[in-house]
A and B are shown apart, each in its own frame.
Chain A
Amino acid sequence: MSHTDRKSDAPPGTLRVAGILAEFDGPVALKAAAAGVREAGYTVFEAYSPFPVHGLHAATQRVPGRRRTLLPWLVLGGGIAGGLGALLLQWWTNALDYPYRISGKPLFSLPANIPITFELIILLSALAAFAGGLMLSGLPELFHPLFACARFRRVTTDAFFLAIEASDPQFDETAAAVLLRSLGARQTEVYCQPETQRRLPGVLVAAAVILVPLLLLPPLWIAKVRYARKASPRIHLITDMDFQPKYLPQQSSPVSLFADGRAMRPPVAGTVAVDQPLEADHFLRGETGGKPATTFPVPVTAALMQRGRQRYDIYCATCHGLAGDGDGITSQLAVEREEPKWVRPLSLHNQSVRDQPVGQLFKTVSQGVRTMPGYGSQIPVEDRWAILLYVRALQRTRTATIRDVPQEKRKYLELTGPADAEKPATKP
């Protein structure tokens, strides 16, 4: 066994001693030496081996035999975080934020959520184990004074070392060397702290300095494009079916199907635009010159009046009554039941109704008034005029005198009607 202390490569006197390194024959010798060093009172020392040596870590600890490590707790923490996180994610997204039923499953389908929960427990536990293991080992630690020792390179092959560090309170070069040799060290060597902090090679640093900003560019550009205002349409990479080979309205087609080079035909004659002014305002809206019409736009005939009577009996009589007094069956029932919201329809014989121009009555029938709904969607325009004709006829029945009846019909009434033929039939 050589007893010569050999220093590291640098010239003496310029470096700080970092510790003393001793090589041993094998795992058993190393373990014994570690125990011996600990018994001698040293606390800051490490044992190195190419593979895990059973019992070596315990031998280097102040209290031998304790197997404390934080790692299982980190893993448990990771697992719990993964499990709760997974359940929360699935519950919140599928049952709360955008709940929808699929194949009849409940919104929060716990059995269906278990697989992902289980996997995420394992994932986060594994990440915790890996990161925790590295962190607790002090890795990555790319630079260490021992890497300067050429002999130390064999530690990962077949060599076993023990290193007492200079930061130990009772460290003394010669005393430590004597102790180590007495414990069976094959070689001892003092190793030093390097004079300059080793850095990563310039190439790698330069590459990192260039690459990192470059990698930041795409997300920054995307952010700019998303949030800045632009006049031109955005870049549309995946077009899917957005641009289809078809002709749009008003386009011309180069290969025209039609003689005028259009891709579509112009509208049919008589087409009316949605908000185009109507020529048939009197008929369709009951308005002449913007004001309610006072005359009927259709010829007044007995047939139209009969039609009007029939239509009146269908649509209007339920509320207004067969004679227009506002006592239709609906009204009677509502009053009987004391419906709180029911307003009895105004009698059609009321002076105010008789004074209204027929165009306004038309508007009432079409669009409704106060609590009466509009019947414009149910009754065609022609029929509305027919109904109004009948309404006017009903009104005439209360205000007409014998002088309004044509000559040829008077004799019939004189024979059957009331005695006093000069007065109107009923009170208004």
Chain B
Amino acid sequence: MTAITLEDNTFDDPTRRAPLVLGEADFASVTRRVCQITERPRPPAAWYAALAASVALAGCLLAGIVCMIVTGVGVLGNNSPVFWGFDITNFVFWIGIGHAGTLISAILFLFRQRWRTSVNRLAEAMTVFAVVCAGVFPAVHVGRIWVLYWVAPYPNQMALWPNFRSPLLWDVVAVSTYGTVSVLFWYLGMIPDLATLRDRATTRWRQLLYGLFALGWRGSASQWHHFEWAYLLLAALATPLVLSVHSVVSFDFAVSQLPGWHTTIFPPYFVAGAIFSGCAMVVTLAVPARAYFGLERLITLRHLDNLNKLILATSLLVGYAYAVEVFMAWYGGNPYEAFTLANRALGPYAWAYWLMLGCNVAVPQLFWLKKCRTTPWMMIIVALLVNVGMWLERFVIIVTSLSRDFLPSAWGIFKPTVVDVMMLSGSFGLFFTLFLLFCRYLPMVAMAEVKTVLPSNPQSPVSAETR
């Protein structure tokens, strides 16, 4: 990592738009910079070290899953009354992280935020891998995973159908839809860049594999025309999808009658929290990636600044939801609701609650300071703490409400087991393994999209707007 001095594009001057690609960049240099990550004979040594660590952790996940299938669900800490523990916490956590990718790809595309072009490929990949990690948990926590196909509506000799009125089924459909649409969106956007790799390929195998997945893309005007339309339509579809998926996940809790779970603000609150944790994960991935792969000219400090502003904004939304919940616990006059909130703050899991508030509401306020928003090491610390806080938020919601609900005689404490911890840390291993492989073999930055916002591109809207 050599220190590079680039021009500062985080300025606030309203009279001109900041350049989104720094240095003297033209189409060829951008292409070269991104493609050489996959073309160089050996990735940086740090990549190997990271991959080894990730694969080892992913092995933990596999071991945990095998243990669960062979022995039974009892190897987890779940027990009466806390029937959902780390398993569902991890599921909601990973699905939430995936949402920022779709936000950056789709929602920011619809709002014409051109800066998204440098990070959207990375973010979309993060979404796909996060959904994979998320999907592991509901699949294994059912107990008899070998009959998991029973959730599908197929004609069977028992003449049974799944109960579509249940939020658990809604989850199945929503997460599958989300996974499918995310993969489609990610892949569609990658087709022109895969064609770039195909055309630059030096070996027959590279040409073959990239060529197969590039589907023969030639970049003709009519192909671009239909591509842009398909991309726009997928973005327009992905936007309500991202709002709905985490809302459906929040319905798992909110349709119940449990105090602390049943509250109408859950859908938008969960979506805001999802975008919050997802943006933090994008920052966590983007900062080392740009350093190790030499992408500082493409993923500039302005991009990170904008992501951090999103983190700050969503942290305030999450804080708003906390405040409204607290107010309504008193205003509603429901003693169980009031108790639940008091229990969160003062009960056996109070440490988790206050740590969560600290990480989710207090720490991101550092991003009011521009210095904090534009210094890589500071933003990584904030982003990591945000992810810790968001995991704890799901933990607090699930475990505190379950451990102490209406009848004191039914109260109980949840203690995670070794398998719980192995699966949680293993899921990070799976995520980073997939991400590292993505970095090595697929185009990390959307080259075709970045070229449209290059200052040297006469058609770039960014260059046209500077006076």
Contact = CB atoms under 8 A, between A and B. Distances in A.
A–B contact via C-beta, under 8 angstroms: yes
Contacts of A105: 165
Interface in A110-164: 112-113, 115-116, 118-120, 122-123, 125-127, 129-130, 132-134, 136-144, 146-147, 153-158
Contacts of A27: 457-459
Contacts of B212: 142
A134 B215 CA distance: 9
Contacts of A158: 26-28, 31
B244 A115 contact: yes
B196 A123 contact: no
Contact of A129 (B162, B223, B225, B233): B233
Contact of A137 (B165, B166, B223, B448): B223
Interface stretch (A88-96, A312-320, A395-403): A88-96
A28 B161 contact: no
A126 B248 contact: no
A119 B184 contact: no
B164 interface: yes
A102 B248 CA distance: 19
Contact of A28 (B192, B198, B451, B459): B459
Nearest to A116: B173
B196 A137 contact: no
A122 B236 CA distance: 10
Interface in B119-144: 144
Instruction: Classify chain B: how many residues form its interface, as a range.
Output: 35 or more
A53 B174 CA distance: 36
Given A57-B225, A98-B159, A112-B164, A48 B220 contact: yes
Contact of A143 (B174, B216, B223, B233): B216
A129 B237 contact: yes
A52 B227 contact: yes
Nearest to B187: A130
B155 to A, nearest CB: 10
Contacts of B449: 51
Contact of A71 (B229, B248, B457): B229
Interface of B is mostly: helix
A235 interface: no
Contacts, number: 211
Nearest to A52: B224
Contacts of A90: 164
A130 B26 contact: no
Contact of B165 (A50, A112, A141): A112
A142 B184 CA distance: 20
A90 B161 CA distance: 9
Nearest to B222: A57
A160 to B, nearest CB: 9
Contacts of B238: 126
A404 interface: no
Given A129-B234, A156-B199, A157-B27, A93 B220 contact: no
Interface in B336-377: none
A123 B175 CA distance: 11
A154 to B, nearest CB: 7
Contact of A115 (B27, B222, B248): B248
Specify which of A50, A69, A204 lies most central, judged by the most chain B CB atoms within 10 Å of its CB: A50
Contacts of A71: 226, 229-230, 233
B216 A140 contact: yes
A48 B228 CA distance: 15
A26 interface: yes
B219 interface: yes
A48 B245 CA distance: 38
B248 A50 contact: no
Nearest to B201: A153
B163 interface: yes
Contacts of A57: 221-222, 224-225
A218 to B, nearest CB: 15
A133 B230 contact: yes
Contacts of B251: 115
Nearest to A53: B459
Interface in B177-191: 177, 180-181, 184-185, 188, 191
Contacts of A134: 215, 230
Contacts of B215: 134, 139-142
Interface string A70-89: 01100100000000000001
A54 to B, nearest CB: 5
Nearest to A91: B164
Given A57-B222, A109-B165, A139-B217, A156 B195 contact: yes
30 contacts: A34-B221, A46-B220, A49-B221, A51-B224, A51-B457, A54-B459, A71-B226, A71-B229, A89-B164, A97-B159, A112-B164, A113-B164, A115-B244, A116-B169, A116-B174, A119-B177, A122-B177, A123-B176, A125-B233, A126-B238, A126-B241, A127-B184, A130-B188, A133-B226, A133-B229, A134-B230, A142-B212, A142-B216, A153-B200, A154-B199
A-B pairs with the 7 shortest C-beta distances? A133-B230, A158-B27, A93-B161, A140-B215, A57-B225, A156-B196, A141-B216
Interface of A: 26-28, 34, 46-54, 56-57, 59-60, 69, 71-72, 75, 89-90, 93-94, 97-98, 102, 105, 109, 112-113, 115-116, 118-120, 122-123, 125-127, 129-130, 132-134, 136-144, 146-147, 153-158, 201, 204, 237-238
